[in-house]
Structure 1
């Protein structure tokens, strides 16, 4: 069996003692193996380093002088190829915002080695999933027999992609919804959006839906609280109704036109 190379870790924290302690935890982690390839004392230093280098995961503090860790995470989110993000901070109140930025994990200081190891194991699992060839890359056409694999209560489930109605981000996990059940899985909506292509549509920062499952689009008062994008007015937001389960999901204003186009194509 080939030994996997160690995870490449960037530590971003304005406190030198915090960086030193975190480096020690990373380098004594037994599995997966990991090495600290660089340190940065600010978001600006980290951004400069990342513009010329690559790493697998960024261990990121929230509160720092200048742009904070959340601002750096928002910048990295827009990159096609970005490292995984694990926040390491003394401020637990930012957890919800961190997961909205698709952080893989959120650790509070003082960090325990076992807790950090669990986060790094998730990073290694995510990297392995990326390297696994999809059906299309293996030479087969993407079709109804393509599947999403996930682990649930110790079982490995293979869910046909044709049965998936939507994926929704729920803090640190994703919910995969079919007509029959809801399943919890690891992953990020950005990766799924790239992998699944034209069959799915990003309707909101927290939701990716199957185009074929969208039944109608309308102004919907219930969508107002869920639509955190694009303005703070009190008008009702937009929402789509999902087939089979008759659930309504919020649509961000910027995606309304794309949803209308998808509905129009279904009617052709």
Structure 2
């Protein structure tokens, strides 16, 4: 079951967001528990003091007291894997939202079109992060790597070198074989010798894929347009 919080100082907006969220959960055939907040301070207290856990938070940016932008900064240390969707009428916030690793930015003027897609993508990603693992098995060890912790995979001679949040693991298989075994759209070739996990890509800049951990990986010219297209398709537009 997913734990979702909706925070907006406008009760009518909260109800609209709740209805869209419930519909998205049904479409994804996913159970969810939705908590409603009309005061940002109450949500912040529940997370930082009472240690409430949320997989996904829908935040209005323009709220009295603690704004959505300020909340995101304070929430992040307590819910490092939590997904935040900003809902606002001011486009200029989008750049700051991107810098805060916000999952998606939804303009209020396009709420009906953009919020359902953002929610479905978030639900699918959370489900992926909670479930799948890649198993490395040899005569001497058995190692399971959660998909969510894999940043990228590189060819290393006759091996594939897998970089995760905890370090590097090697498997004596070709890069293509590992790619086929992973079998999910989140992993994408950016070069003949490198596969990246799209859930960790923050931006494409100067021909490089910049990841959340600060690593920048070169994208080959032959792959650049396809990589951009795949990322746009996977994430949708942020603005």
Task: Decide: shared fold, TM above 0.5.
Answer: yes
Residue 55 (structure 1) aligned with residue 54 (structure 2)? yes
Distance 1:161 1:47 in 2: 45
1:12 is displaced (CA, Å) by 0.8
Shift of 1:97: 0.6
- Partners of 1:159 and 1:21 in 2: CA distance: 39
Matched, 1:72 2:74: no
Report the Cα distance in structure 1 between the residues aligned to 2:117 and 2:87, rounded to whole angstroms. 13
Alignment of 1:41 with 2:38, yes or no, is yes
SS in 2 for 1:107: strand
Which of 131, 139, 142 is 2:143 aligned to? 139
Q: Aligned-pair distance for 1:103?
A: 0.9
Tell me if the contact between 1:86 and 1:103 (Cα under 8 Å) persists in the aligned partners.
Answer: yes
Task: State the distance in 1 between where 2:111 and 2:81 align.
Answer: 26
SS in structure 2 of the partner of residue 28 of structure 1: helix
Considering fraction of residues, name the structure with more helix.
Answer: 2
Conservation of the 8 A alpha-carbon contact between 1:43 and 1:69: yes
> Contact 1:14–1:64 (CA<8 Å) still a contact in 2?
yes
Distance in 2, Cα, partners of 1:103 & 1:66? 20
Structure of greater relative contact order (alpha carbons < 8 Å, 6+ residues apart): 2
Aligned Cα RMSD in Å? Answer: 3.7
Q: Which runs of 5+ in 1 are unaligned?
A: 188-268
Residues 129 and 136 of structure 1: is their aligned pair in 2 closer, same or farther, counting only changes over 3 Å? farther
Question: What is the Cα deviation at residue 133 of structure 1?
Answer: 1.4
3-state SS of the aligned residue for 1:88?
strand
**Structure 2: gaps (5+ residues):** 145-167, 211-216
* CA shift digits 1:16-70 (9 cap, x unpaired): 1111221122223342246452112233211122243222210000011112101
Map 1:65-104 onto structure 2 (within 5 A): 65-79=64-78, 81-104=80-103
Separation in structure 2 between the aligned mates of residue 71 and residue 83 of structure 1, nearest angstrom:
16
- Max radius of gyration: which structure? 1
* 1:136 shift after superposition: 6.2
- Check conservation: 1:26, 1:36, Cα contact below 8 A: no
Aligned residue for 1:139, secondary structure, equals strand
Size of the aligned set, in residue pairs, is 177
Secondary structure at the aligned position of 1:74 is classed as helix
Seen in structure 2, the aligned counterparts of structure 1 residues 80 and 15 have a Cα distance that, compared at 3 Å, is closer
Tell me the distance in 2 between the aligned counterparts of 1:136 and 1:67: 46
Say if 1:135 and 1:142, in contact at 8 Å, map to a contact too.
no
| Structure 1 residues 136 and 128: CA distance shift in structure 2, 3 A | farther
Residue aligning to 1:178: 218
Return closer, same or farther for 1:70/1:126 CA change in 2, 3 Å cut-off. same
Indicate conservation of the 8 Å contact 1:164/1:178, yes or no: no
